[in-house]
Amino acid sequence: MDNQEAQILPDEADVMKQSNDFDVEIVDDRPTEDQRSPRQEAESDDFNIDEEIDGVNDQVKKRINRLKYEYHEQRREKEENARIRDEAVQYAQSIQQQNEKLSDIVNRSEEALIKSVSTRADTEIKAAKQAYKKAYDEGDSEALVLAQESLTKAQTDKTYLQNYQPQPQKVEAAKSFDQQPQTADPRTQTWIDNNQWFGQPGYEEMTGFAFGLHESLTKKNITSKSDKYFDTINSRLHKTFPEFFNVGKEEDVQPTSTRRKNTVVASAQREGKNPRKVQLTQTQVKLAKRLGITPEQYARQMVKESKRG
């Protein structure tokens, strides 16, 4: 979950693993009259004055034909650049929309988390007051001290939440395509793939809880590059939401390695199916090269946008 706002494009390792999902067919999107093979330049013959005089008419015709050819070549190049520019604009807009969607998910998840923690703090305050009253009536000084500590802590948490203002996530404009695209953290992407509920409507509380754990671990210098980072998040999620993960009181949390093993099996099963055929135009292939991504990555992004639309 590091740098989520900028982590849009998948890395090369993910593409190699999922490249068999798509069978990319490249089609020529140039106008029919422009779909010609490149012209082969003829080798120039030795100059002969007599042949020059005799063939002046032929040379004029060749000159005119050459000028026409050069004119159409320049026209085709301009039209191709225009097509690439238009395709780049559409691609940038789709990425921008995806960034805005992720930003909205983060904001809604944070609000849901604050509401959940606030409700829990109210419950703890009420329980601490009851424990305090009971200890006072029974004259139990030790229980009285513990109840006072619990009440103070719960009230402090409640005050902090009341003064906390969620920071709206800012979505950066799409960067220039001349810049090198950033790569996503493969371990974080694997975790997201294994937890399909993350960031989905109806799971704002769980998503917000995961973001809260991420912030807490980051402050302790525990990053997504370590096993402890994911083990802590998985363990806390299973303990906090046992009904969702079907975890009983005596059940142990399933090791991360086991879940990864199941994912590998699923990938192998997908590889056994026929790859999905996606058509890309030559303009889209050239744009993909300029972006520094493969045609398979570009095709996968197209499929995502078509499902979203």
pLDDT one-digit tens code per residue, 252-301: 434 443 344 333 333 333 444 566 777 888 788 877 777 677 888 778 87
Q: Is the pLDDT of residue 26 over 60?
A: yes
Residue 200 has pLDDT above 60, yes or no: yes
- Mean of all residue pLDDT scores within the chain: 71
User: Which alpha helices (H) appear in the chain, and where do they start and end?
Assistant: 12-18, 49-54, 56-138, 141-163, 186-194, 204-219, 227-240, 242-245, 256-272, 282-291, 295-308
Q: What is the mean pLDDT of residues 179-191?
A: 66
Position 180 scores a pLDDT of: 41
Q: For residue 4, what pLDDT is reported?
A: 46
Interval 38-78: pLDDT, tens: 655 555 556 565 565 566 677 777 777 788 788 888 888 88
Q: Measure Cα distances from 251 to 194, 210, 233, 259, 264 in Å.
A: 20, 21, 17, 16, 24
pLDDT at 149 over 70: yes
**Cα distance between residue 192 and residue 209, in whole Å:** 14
The pTM score is 0.31
Q: Which residue has the higher pLDDT, 142 or 256?
A: 142
Cβ within 8 Å of residue 5, ≥6 positions away: 99, 102, 103, 169, 170, 171, 172
The answer to whether 230 and 185 have CB atoms below 8 angstroms apart is no
- How many beta carbons lie within 10 A of that of residue 164, not counting itself? 12
Burial of 17 (0-12, 13-18, 19+ CB in 10 A): middle
Q: Name the nearest CA neighbour of 36 among 73, 67, 62.
A: 73
The confidence score (pLDDT) of residue 266 equals 37
Please check the confidence at residue 196 and state whether its pLDDT lies above 80.
yes
pLDDT classification of 179: cutoffs 50, 70, 90: very low
The predicted model gives 83-89 an average pLDDT of 78
pLDDT at 197 over 60: yes
pLDDT tens per residue across span 159-175: 877 776 666 555 444 44
Mean pLDDT of 8-16: 51
* pLDDT surpassing 70 at residue 128: yes
Provide the pLDDT for residue 173. Answer: 44
